[in-house]
């Protein structure tokens, strides 16, 4: 089985408090996007994983292998071809883990219940449960309390992919104040762009001001909305048309950009 493992962006991300278990409560709107890795699964004598990106560890810290282990290590050969940059706030590793759970469960007819699948997903990472759902979703808690929103597909996106990388743990350590939640938007997402904020931007832009420059460049190029995805460092911009998106890409120099679009299903 050869399948796509899609990335995500966050339309908004508010940190609403610190929990007794050490995690943070947050409120976010996840969005699945067309940028994807490719994963190939074959039956084999034992579980193995290969990857075309030498920077990806292939030991037991890898989320794909951890996902497989949670399902009992069914004997499969997994090949991972990376396109989603690691450490960019696009959820590549989490997406790979969710894809592994879904495909191995189907390939080996494991019959894992939906509740158990979500439990395993959350044990692997706070945004892994979203990748089992896909589309557009409002999330609370650690990101695992998900409410599907009306699908938002075909919105042209331009992703700015800086060389700078941001540690998620370090990013949470920079949060000095918490935001009140605002709830699920009751209107079109872009109707009130001032509500689509990311609480990581202010402290991270202070340390990495070039990221702010990339956001401003997207807005100056005509983006309806622009913001950092997750804890960064990717900056995403949404455009009304693909032509406007492509014109913006031609204007932005000195940093890698990738065209993508929102998608409605895994």
Active site residues: 8, 127
3-class DSSP assignment, residue 141: coil
Residue 136 is encoded by which pair of tokens?
Answer: 């557009």
DSSP letters for 87-134: TSSS-HHHHHHHHHHHHHHHHTT----HHHHHHHHHHH-TTHHHHHH-
Identify the residue whose tokens are 């034992």. 46
CB count, 10 Å around CB of 188? 9
Bridge partners of 41, per DSSP, are 78
Q: How many whole angstroms separate alpha carbon 179 and alpha carbon 228?
A: 17
Q: How many whole angstroms separate alpha carbon 51 and alpha carbon 57?
A: 9
């Amino acid at each position: 089985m050869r399948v796509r493992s899609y990335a995500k962006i966050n339309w908004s991300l508010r940190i609403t408090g610190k929990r007794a278990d050490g995690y943070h409560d947050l409120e976010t709107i996840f969005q699945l996007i067309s940028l994807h890795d490719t994963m190939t699964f074959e039956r084999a004598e034992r579980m193995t994983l290969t990857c075309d990106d030498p920077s990806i560890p292939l030991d037991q810290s890898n989320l794909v292998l951890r996902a497989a282990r949670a399902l009992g290590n069914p004997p499969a050969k997994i090949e991972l071809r990376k396109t989603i940059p690691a450490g960019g706030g696009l959820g590549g590793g989490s997406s790979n883990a969710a894809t592994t759970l879904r495909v191995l469960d189907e390939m080996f007819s494991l019959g894992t219940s939906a509740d158990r699948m979500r439990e395993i997903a959350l044990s692997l990472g706070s945004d892994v449960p979203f990748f089992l759902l896909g589309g557009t979703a409002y999330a609370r808690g650690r990101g695992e309390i998900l409410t599907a929103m009306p699908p938002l597909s075909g919105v042209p996106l331009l992703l700015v992919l800086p060389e700078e990388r941001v540690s998620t743990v370090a990013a949470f350590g920079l949060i000095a104040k918490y935001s009140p939640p605002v709830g699920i938007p009751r209107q079109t997402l872009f109707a009130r762009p001032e509500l689509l904020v990311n609480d990581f931007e202010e402290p991270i832009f202070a340390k990495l001001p070039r990221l702010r420059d990339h956001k401003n460049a997207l807005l100056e190029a005509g983006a309806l909305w622009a913001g950092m995805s997750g804890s960064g460092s990717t900056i995403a911009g949404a455009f009304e048309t693909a032509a406007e998106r492509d014109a913006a890409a031609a204007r932005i120099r000195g940093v890698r950009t990738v065209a993508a679009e929102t998608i409605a299903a895994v």
